[in-house]
Amino acid sequence: MKSAVVVFPGINRERDMARALRLASGREPAMVWHADTALPAGTDLVVIPGGFSYGDYLRCGAIAARAPIMDAVRGFAAKGGLVLAICNGFQIACEAGLLPGVLMRNAQLRFICRDVYLRVERSDTPFTRGYNAGQVIRVPVAHGEGNYIADGETIARLESEGRVLFRYSSPDGMIDPNWNHNGAMNGIAGIINERGNVLGMMPHPENHVEASMGRTDGRGLFAGLLDHFKVAA
Amino acid sequence: MKARVTVTLKPGILDPQGKAIEGALRSLGVGGVTSVRQGKVFEIEIEGADRAGAEAALKSAAEKLLANTVIENYRIELGGQ
Amino acid sequence: MKARVTVTLKPGILDPQGKAIEGALRSLGVGGVTSVRQGKVFEIEIEGADRAGAEAALKSAAEKLLANTVIENYRIELGGQ
Amino acid sequence: MNQTLSVIPNEPAITPELIAQHGLTPEEYERIVKLLDRTPSFTELGIFSAMWNEHCSYKSSKVHLRTLPTEAPWVIQGPGENAGVIDIGDGLAVVFKMESHNHPSYIEPYQGAATGVGGILRDVFTMGARPIACLNALSFGDPKHPKTRALVAGVVAGIGGYGNSFGVPTVGGEVRFDRRYDGNCLVNAMAVGLAETDKIFYAKATGIGMPIVYLGSKTGRDGIHGATMASAEFGADAEEKRPTVQVGDPFSEKLLLEACLEIMAKGCVIAIQDMGAAGLTCSAVEMGAKGDLGVTLDLDKVPCRETGMSAYEMMLSESQERMLMVLKPDKEKEAEAIFRKWGLDFAVVGETTPSKRFVVRHGGAVVADLPIKELGDEAPVYRRPFTERGKQAEIDPASVKAPVGIAEVLEALIGSPNLCSKRWVWEQYDHVILGNTVQRPGGDAAVIRINDGPKALALTADVTPRYCEADPFEGGKQAVAEAYRNLSAVGAKPLALTDNLNFGNPERPDIMGQFVGCVRGIGAAARALDFPVVSGNVSLYNETNGRAILPTPTIGGVGLIDEFTRSMTMAFKSEGEAILVIGGTRGWLGQSLYLRELCGREDGAPPPVDLAVERRHGDFVRSLIRDGLITAAHDVSDGGLLVALVEMAIASGIGAVLEAPSEVPAHAFWFGEDQARYLVTARNVEPIMERAKAAGVPVTPLGATGGALVSISGERPLRVADLKQRFEAWLPAYMVGSH
Ligand SMILES: Nc1ncnc2c1ncn2[C@@H]1O[C@H](COP(=O)(O)OP(=O)(O)O)[C@@H](O)[C@H]1O
Ligand SMILES: [Mg+2]
């Protein structure tokens, strides 16, 4: 799996992501600068990592979404390439039109860093094949603006097309406002685009990938992607 | 030339900040406020005195960057020199 | 009654957001913008038709909550019904 | 050198009022005139006021700080640079420091706290270290004071806002409430970075004719000395020229970090200094003075954010996210390209000279020409008079029994502002970014893995101000001992500390006495525990209307763990394990929270700290952890044994069955704050008892883990779940205004 991590000024979880990719695939990802106009040849997976691109000034992800490299990312996605967009990456993907909807400020208006529970809704996508449908995983969140909203029609489409891959839940998988820390509609934590090749999610699976650090629930995502490319090859 | 671009949430879009401010004003004892919606305002200096050119530049700034037109409306006001 | 409170940074206060937006507009090819400063606007509905009362309430809202008067100025505009 | 400088039009005349507004005494001004052999220009007066104020010159504290132990075989750099540096083996060094931003945070909590974090991060990466963790120690006024809630909200949001965006995990700290901070909150921020031992960068300039480069953000009128600027001398345009609050820009700082580390790696840098307090002045003078060189600055080259800035304003501006660097001349182009790539300002603003003079030019005129060494070295040093507070009486535990039972006391304490969970605070801080957080906030010390391991750092911040006030010497010792204990409890060897000494007005002998006593106590403990002081910061004049804060010498401790997977936590691990208390319990209630919260009394002698015992018990606990003999460990501090035990229960959801003591009155036994104690759990008690005997360490069985209750024979049992609810509830409820 050849992955490329896009680095915008102010992005700060690129090292965490690079480590997770390296541990999963045994390969160092390419770090791609925002001002570049092309992705490295042979890229399988593009990752837009977390952080505060451009300080999250104006709107989260707004300025990064208009950076030169994003044309290349859009082109890559249009050809069916896999794009994984996490946290600030999710916000950038929405602003760039790769995914529908908007990430608004958390309902309680504060930044929240804690472990949350996610129910994995489907296991038949390249991003979630490392999990079972209905499985509950525990991964951290760290964001101030992760409150997913979209108009009624969009939400209805996302739901009817099974495009919600991760939902905030209780430890036993119940969808419950008490376990939805940011107020996202329908507990939405992660969605894919229509074609199923772009995933945006707020939580950080890349921070839970090492047994020695205590938790490994994030591994499934990276292992699944690796598997996907192995099978494809 | 001075200009101002005001960006506000479209009607119907939930505004958690505005709601929180409503609540806070109530508990501060500020009376009579029934609704608050928060938006952004950009005070912009733009070169040259060509109003039409400036207006076009501002429209493009608003469309391309300042507003997320999925959820926001914008309004442009051009000032004098 | 509709009202609007506009909150802007005092002159001289650093505006990192405005600075980042300036840079982004430049690289998007929006011409001629020499300075951007970002502020907030609050669109407020207030009960009753007593303008003086409304004005007092808005002033108190701005002072107590909407503006951080250490670094921000505010302006109140009262609309019609 | 009896020259006069060119007269700058519109500069105010040097009057006694102007001198006083600059915080200089008539004697200090005389000293300046003598040194120069002429009257200083307005800009020069500003430069002197910046260099000779308490913050830069440490004039009240210097003679006392010199007594602190600062050396150990593992210390690479002690106090005197931007941050302290210690060797942790494998060619790696840890760079750390703590600094206050008290007054700015009180004026504008969000920006004040944010820029405090920004400043301390800059101190660390200026030395070539990549920041890997932050801590923060916060002191607020009475929860009932009308300003407190907004200060808490703003300060916490500001610390998070800066650290989260910059991309460093904020992993520890403390939060206290006391009416003595009503008019003066304290915001102490600590940053910790990692560098290679052979790639540490210092402020000392070398070489003549080397370019001095200005890096980072542009200069504005931020934070210029308020009293001066408020003077009417500026005429009609005063409003325009008003000094402004510093606003943090973590985005620019993140770029500055990456750019600095990149040019350091490329070998472009001779010397580097961040612009902190008194910005350009302090940084340029320090670089030159340390290298025995002169410096010439050309202010026309300084990137400015505003038009019409005077030399005075530029020299005193405290705009954030700026650096000054001496570059290798042949690397100038390379360095500039790196800075441009990161979108930062880069300008050659001066050069080093052989003259040992600090020369500042602006608009074609020389606006300052000062002897560079004397600016720093000749700063006044005061031995301020001080009076030491007499020892307080010991309190007989039997004489201060609250009218309620042990269970009620426990319920009250665990849900009290100072002992309740600070989760509401640390959940606003990204504490997992960088993927190396082994122990998150909520334990005794945070544990941060170094790179991919196996080593890890343990980090803590501690002080008990009410002890410091009652007995400054014991309080100073206790702050260091508690940091030592917190590190030991997670299995770390304490290596070095940074101190942040927050006090009132040093010109008052009683306050100076607090300072002197605390510093002596810190020194004694640091020496006895082999825990040297490698960096620090002094914040004086924290008082309002003659009412000073509690003396608050915050200690930031750093310890090393060889194998991160073996760090110890405080949660009970399973049912049926023995609970042991290490260390003796006399039931010391003087200055305890029991006394304060339950009896409404704030008196008596605080618990004495026996440093030899501290060291022995610390060594003992670490050896138990290293040899895998215990399953959990927690130090006993504020609130005493039962509070510590309940924290272990809450962390695990497992209860405990405890035996009542026989020798000490129950309330004093459970809530006394005797020092040098730890609670541990073990499956097998025998080997621990044997070792304890051999080491001369008192170890007492307390009971066993298990069940859903904390029960003490003869007392009302309490559900762990209910205690947890109380522990977690107070702060969030307070912040929404429900009490
Ligand atoms: N301001 C803060 N920032 C981060 N963590 C904090 C803060 N205040 C308290 N904590 C965390 O809460 C826990 C308990 O703090 P405290 O009661 O001061 O511990 P101790 O008494 O062991 O020093 C610690 O893990 C500490 O790091
Ligand atoms: Mg502790």
Sheet containing D294-298: order of strands: D269-274, D322-327, D211-216, D345-353, D294-298, D357-362, D365-371
Query: Between B and C, how many residue pairs show a Cβ–Cβ distance under 8 A?
Result: 108
Query: Which residue has its alpha carbon closest to ligand 1 atom 4?
Result: D172
The position carrying tokens 């929240």 is A112
The position carrying tokens 């507003």 is B67
pLDDT score recorded for residue D237: 46
Averaged pLDDT, D254-265: 95
Option in D165, D342, D436 nearest A56 (CB): D165
Q: What CA–CA distance (Å, rounded) separates A62 from A77?
A: 19
pLDDT score recorded for residue D231: 33
Tokens of C17: 């957001």
Which domain range does residue A81 map to? Answer: 3-232
- Interchain proximity B32–C57, CB inside 8 Å: yes
Residues of A designated catalytic = 87, 204, 206
Q: How far lies D728's CA from each of A169, D416, D482, D647, in Å?
A: 21, 10, 24, 11
Q: State percent of chain D over pLDDT 90.
A: 87
Q: What are phi and psi of D347, to 5 degrees?
A: -150, 135
- Interchain proximity B65–C24, CB inside 8 Å: yes
Option in B14, B64, B65 nearest A149 (CB): B14
The position carrying tokens 């400054």 is D472
pLDDT score recorded for residue D8: 60
Tokens of A38: 């092309």
Peptide bond into D454 cis (omega under 30): yes
Q: How many residues does chain A have?
A: 233
- Interchain proximity D428–A112, CB inside 8 Å: yes
Q: What CA–CA distance (Å, rounded) separates D433 from D326?
A: 33
CA of D174 to the centre of ligand 1 (A): 4
- Interchain proximity D220–C12, CB inside 8 Å: yes
**D649 CB less than 6 Å from ligand 1?**
no
- C-alpha torsion sign, points D566, D568, D574, D579: positive
**D462 CB less than 6 Å from ligand 1?**
yes
CA of D173 to the centre of ligand 1 (A): 5
Angle at C57 between CA C52 and CA C63, to 5 degrees: 125
- Interchain proximity D251–C14, CB inside 8 Å: no
Residues (pLDDT < 50) of chain A are: none
CA of D175 to the centre of ligand 1 (A): 7
Q: What CA–CA distance (Å, rounded) separates A186 from D425?
A: 27
pLDDT score recorded for residue C47: 86
- Return the half-sphere exposure (C-beta side, CA atoms, 13 A cut-off) of residue D61: 31
Catalytic entry in D64, D101, D617, D667: D101
CA dihedral D473, D477, D479, D485 (to 10 degrees): -160
CA of D626 to the centre of ligand 1 (A): 24
Q: Does B35 touch chain C (CB under 8 A)?
A: yes
Q: How far lies A113's CA from each of D123, D379, D423, D640, in Å?
A: 26, 46, 10, 30
Q: What CA–CA distance (Å, rounded) separates D520 from D472?
A: 9
Name the pLDDT band for D329 (thresholds 50, 70, 90).
Answer: very high
Query: Between A and C, how many residue pairs show a Cβ–Cβ distance under 8 A?
Result: 21
Per-residue pLDDT tens digits for D506-540? 999 999 999 999 999 999 999 999 999 999 999 99
Per-residue pLDDT tens digits for D353-395? 999 999 999 998 999 999 999 998 888 999 999 999 999 999 9
List, in order, residues 6 or more apart from B8 with CB less than 8 Å away. B37, B39, B72, B73, B74, B75, C41, C43
Q: How far apart are the first and last CA of chain C?
A: 5
E-strand ranges in chain A read 3-7, 30-33, 45-48, 82-86, 102-104, 112-120, 136-143, 147-149, 164-169, 188-192, 198-201
Q: What CA–CA distance (Å, rounded) separates D253 from D122?
A: 8
pLDDT score recorded for residue D661: 78
List, in order, residues 6 or more apart from D171 with CB less than 8 Å away. D133, D134, D135, D429, D431, D437, D440, D441, D446, D448, D459
Q: What CA–CA distance (Å, rounded) separates D325 from D331?
A: 12
Q: What CA–CA distance (Å, rounded) separates A206 from A209?
A: 6
**D175 CB less than 6 Å from ligand 1?**
yes
- CATH code where residue A108 lies: 3.40.50.880
Q: What CA–CA distance (Å, rounded) separates D607 from D389?
A: 16
Known catalytic residue: D55? Answer: yes
**D638 CB less than 6 Å from ligand 1?**
yes
Give Cα D333 to chain centroid, integer Å. 38
pLDDT score recorded for residue B50: 87
pLDDT score recorded for residue D6: 57
Q: What are phi and psi of D537, to 5 degrees?
A: -160, 145
Helix (H) or strand (E) holding D282: helix D279-290
- Return the half-sphere exposure (C-beta side, CA atoms, 13 A cut-off) of residue D538: 25
Residues of D in contact with A57 (CB under 8 A): 251
Q: What CA–CA distance (Å, rounded) separates D397 from D278?
A: 51
Option in A19, A113, A212 nearest D431 (CB): A113
Verdict on whether the full-model pTM lies above 0.90: yes
**Total number of domains in chain B:** 1
Under DSSP, the state recorded for A217 is T
Q: What CA–CA distance (Å, rounded) separates D491 from D634?
A: 11
pLDDT score recorded for residue D473: 98
Pairing outcome for strands D170-177 and D552-561: unpaired
Name the pLDDT band for D207 (thresholds 50, 70, 90).
Answer: very high
Give one DSSP letter per residue of D388-445, joined into a string: PPPPPPP--GGGG--SS-HHHHHHHHHTSTTTS--HHHHTTS--STTS-EEE-TTSSS
Per-residue pLDDT tens digits for D597-635? 999 999 999 999 999 999 999 999 999 999 999 999 999
- Interchain proximity A59–B68, CB inside 8 Å: yes
Per-residue pLDDT tens digits for D395-420? 999 899 888 999 999 999 999 999 99
C positions 7-36 inside 8 Å of D (CB):
10-16, 19-20, 23
Catalytic entry in D22, D55, D362, D617: D55
- Which ligand neighbours the alpha carbon of D174 most closely? 1
pLDDT score recorded for residue D379: 87
Disruptive mutation site among A36, A87, A113, A204 for chain D (greatest number of D CBs within 10 Å): A113
Q: Does B61 touch chain C (CB under 8 A)?
A: yes
CA dihedral D40, D42, D46, D52 (to 10 degrees): 20
Tokens of D472: 């400054």
Which domain range does residue B36 map to? Answer: 2-78
Name the pLDDT band for D226 (thresholds 50, 70, 90).
Answer: very low
Residues of A in contact with D251 (CB under 8 A): 9-10, 52, 54-55, 57
Q: How far lies D263's CA from each of D37, D247, D254, D274, in Å?
A: 42, 26, 14, 15
Q: What CA–CA distance (Å, rounded) separates D613 from D606?
A: 17
Averaged pLDDT, C68-80: 89
The radius of gyration of chain C's CA atoms, rounded to the nearest angstrom, is 16
**D467 CB less than 6 Å from ligand 1?**
no
Question: Which range is least confidently modeled, D169-173, D557-561, D711-715?
Answer: D711-715
- CA A38 to chain C, closest CA, distance in angstroms equals 17
Nearest alpha carbon to residue D637 among D515, D461, D491:
D461
Nearest alpha carbon to residue D54 among D225, D189, D223:
D225
Query: Which residue has its alpha carbon closest to ligand 1 atom 14?
Result: D442
Residues of C in contact with D319 (CB under 8 A): 14
Atom of ligand 1 nearest to the CA of D419: 17
Tokens of D734: 């307070």
- CATH code where residue B71 lies: 3.30.1280.10
In this structure, are residues D108 and D176 in contact, taking their beta carbons and an 8 Å threshold? no
**D163 CB less than 6 Å from ligand 1?**
no
Residues of C in contact with B60 (CB under 8 A): 30
Per-residue pLDDT tens digits for D102-140? 999 999 999 999 999 999 999 999 999 999 999 999 999
Tokens of D599: 């009896």
Name the pLDDT band for D233 (thresholds 50, 70, 90).
Answer: very low
Give Cα B20 to chain centroid, integer Å. 19
Q: What CA–CA distance (Å, rounded) separates D633 from D654?
A: 15
**Total number of domains in chain A:** 1
- Return the half-sphere exposure (C-beta side, CA atoms, 13 A cut-off) of residue C56: 8
Helix (H) or strand (E) holding D658: strand D656-658
pLDDT score recorded for residue D234: 38
CA of D302 to the centre of ligand 2 (A): 47
CA of A86 to the centre of ligand 2 (A): 35
Disruptive mutation site among D106, D107, D240, D249 for chain C (greatest number of C CBs within 10 Å): D249
The position carrying tokens 């605080």 is D606
